[in-house]
Structure 1
Amino acid sequence: MTIDLTDPPPRSGPRPRTTGLEIPHDQLDQFSPSHIRAALVARAQSLTGVFTGPSQVSEPASLALRLHEPAGPWAAFLHPSPDEFGHIHRSGFLHLTVPEPLIEPLERAGWIEPHPISRRPQWPDTIVMLYAPRDETELAVAVAVLHASWRQATTASTEASTETE
């Protein structure tokens, strides 16, 4: 299945409730079933150069997605970590960096919202919440966004980071 993240399919139903502009930035409903979250984690762990463990920038229970050899630009990482490009929370939602050209289409289609910390000038505006996938169709979109984030963090060129799955 090919997903064009510059024109993604709309996410079904209303957006999940979140804490909005508050930190910690949490999703409050519409969580991933355990098998969907497990599939998302497995896909993340299969990405070349990725290792996982407790997050360096979020609650320790969230699973950090870190790189052995980060090569992407400053905006590809969750600071102050030099190698964490995202993390998966226990309920299935992710905080991760998304290539700039994909943010508006993904937000318009109902898949993401900006992280409130990205409003601060010392943080990249590429940090978003990707809502927890609820089924296999949503998992495919989440994996495509995850791949775009990973490409951005592993590639010095921003062109490679906007390819679609």
Structure 2
Amino acid sequence: MHLEPRVGARPATSSEGPHRQLDQQAPPGIWGELVAKVFDLEGVSEGISQVSPVTSRAVYLVDLEEEAGPGTSLAPGRRPEPVHLHGVQDTSVHLVLPMARGEELVRLGWAEPHQYADFGTEFLIFGPRDSDELGTVLSIIEESLAFARSAA
């Protein structure tokens, strides 16, 4: 999917764990809409993240019990967790993508590499600031879920 560059400066992010977005958070209504749309996607379930603070919500694939391949989960060696949504005070998303696609999103201003990447496939996606960005972030999440399934 072709994406236009994200408009404006990149948000500030933490330099120490947990990796989070410090400004330009999604407005609560936009964030709530994104969360609802993510958990309305076919084939996903909501759970507690295995690797992120308790305010995060894990996105699990109902049809995948084991990682499809290295770098396809934020929780290597555990139940596959390709995406987790951070809390409303943060509004960023951690997810996995093919390295080249993630690097493209970094160049376009939508992402940055995860601070604690094991495989180079882990990225932080900035929270959507408006409804147009909500659609973009949702499409990136859908790409991540497809990537997590594709290596199977």
Q: TM-score, normalised by structure 1?
A: 0.83
TM-superposed CA distance for 1:101, in Å, is: 2.5
Q: Which residues of structure 2 form unaligned runs of 5+?
A: none
Match among 5, 8, 15 for residue 13 of structure 1: 8
Q: Which residues of structure 1 form unaligned runs of 5+?
A: 158-165
Greater mean alpha carbon deviation, residues 109-118 or residues 99-108: 99-108
Question: 2:112 aligns to what?
Answer: 113
CA contact (8 A) 2:46 2:60 kept: yes
Partners of 2:13 and 2:147 in 1: how far apart?
26
Q: Confirm or deny that 1:52 pairs with 2:49.
A: no
Question: Helix, strand or coil: the match of 2:71?
Answer: helix
TM-superposed CA distance for 1:17, in Å, is: 0.4
CA contact (8 A) 1:68 1:83 kept: no
TM-superposed CA distance for 1:44, in Å, is: 1.2
TM-superposed CA distance for 1:154, in Å, is: 1.9
Question: 1:138 aligns to what?
Answer: 133
Q: Confirm or deny that 1:24 pairs with 2:18.
A: yes
Across the two proteins, how many residue pairs are aligned to each other?
Answer: 147
Question: 1:79 aligns to what?
Answer: 75
What RMSD in Å do the two structures reach over aligned CA positions? Answer: 1.5
CA contact (8 A) 1:86 1:94 kept: yes
Q: TM-score, normalised by structure 2?
A: 0.89
Match among 143, 146, 150 for residue 151 of structure 1: 146
Partners of 1:72 and 1:106 in 2: how far apart?
23
Match among 62, 68, 86 for residue 89 of structure 1: 86
TM-superposed CA distance for 1:53, in Å, is: 2.0
CA contact (8 A) 1:78 1:97 kept: yes
Partners of 1:149 and 1:40 in 2: how far apart?
15
Question: Helix, strand or coil: the match of 1:9?
Answer: coil
Higher RCO, 1 vs 2 (CA within 8 Å, ≥6 residues apart): 1
Q: Confirm or deny that 1:67 pairs with 2:66.
A: no
Partners of 1:30 and 1:13 in 2: how far apart?
10
TM-superposed CA distance for 1:10, in Å, is: 1.0
TM-superposed CA distance for 1:116, in Å, is: 1.3
